Structure formats: structure tokens, C-alpha cells
Structure 1
Amino acid sequence: MRRDRTEQDDDLRPEYDASVLKGGSRGKYTEAYRAGTNLARLDPDVRAAFPTDEEVNRALRSLMEAAGAERPGH
């Protein structure tokens, strides 16, 4: 159930000028960010088994070696 916004719901601090904050767009840089990053989201069970970046990379390199895949630049 949705409730109506009231003056109380506005938790913007008084030192911020609300007129400057109008007109923003949500997700404006999302595609550019995704294109420039190499992050992978791990499921909880995988993360539990490989809690650090180093462990994930070691496991993936081992899998690549077993599959006969070459490492770029090596």
C-alpha cells in the first residue's frame, strides 16, 4: 500500500539547495560503466567457496588450463 508523501518525508538537509538537484536522470552512465568494467557477480555458494579475488582467479586459470584455453598475453 502506497502512502502519500508529506513534508515529513523530505529528509534533504537544509544546507542543500533542492533547486540545484532537480532534473537528474537515473542510470545515465550505467551502460558506459558496464562497458568499462570487468566485474562479475558471483552467486552466494560460489562466493562462499572462493571468497577472494585471488582464489577466483586461481580457480578460473586452473579451469582454463584443463580446457586447453590460452591466457592472452602469456
Structure 2
Amino acid sequence: MKKDNSELDDELLPEYDLKSLRVRKLGSGRKSFGSAIVRLEPDVAEMFPSADAVNEALRLLIQIAQRQPGKNPATIE
């Protein structure tokens, strides 16, 4: 009679040390999995020297959009 195994069957061999595995970095300077990656077109990217500069510009745009009566910044085209 076969023993009832409630654990998931996997194909990993016992000699694999999962604690020694490293997370592969997908980009230079990647720091966390929570970050969103946005691709800028070349003409836009040349105007911003860093991600911080892009974020600063977008925050300013959000502030301006929020000052417009009756406008939702998420729906501005």
C-alpha cells in the first residue's frame, strides 16, 4: 500500500541547497522587486540624467494637474 504524502511532490533533488541560490538581478542597480520599470523613449530619456530627475518632474506634473479644478491626474491624456 502506498503511503499518503500530503506534501507537494517536486522534482528538486535533495542535494540542491536552496539557501545558497541568489536572486538574479535584471538590471544594473536593481534594488527590490517592488519597483516599477518604465521604458522612456530616447528623446524623452535624453532630457533626464537619472531616475530621480524623472520622478521629480512627474511629481511636479502631478501637483500642477491636481490644481486644475475637476481634473483627475490619472485621466489626463
Shorter-chain-normalised TM-score: which range? 0.3 to 0.5
Structure with higher helix content: 1
Q: TM-score, normalised by structure 1?
A: 0.42
Query: Normalised by the size of structure 2, how large is the TM-score?
Result: 0.40
The answer to which structure, 1 or 2, has the higher relative contact order (CA under 8 A, 6+ apart) is 2
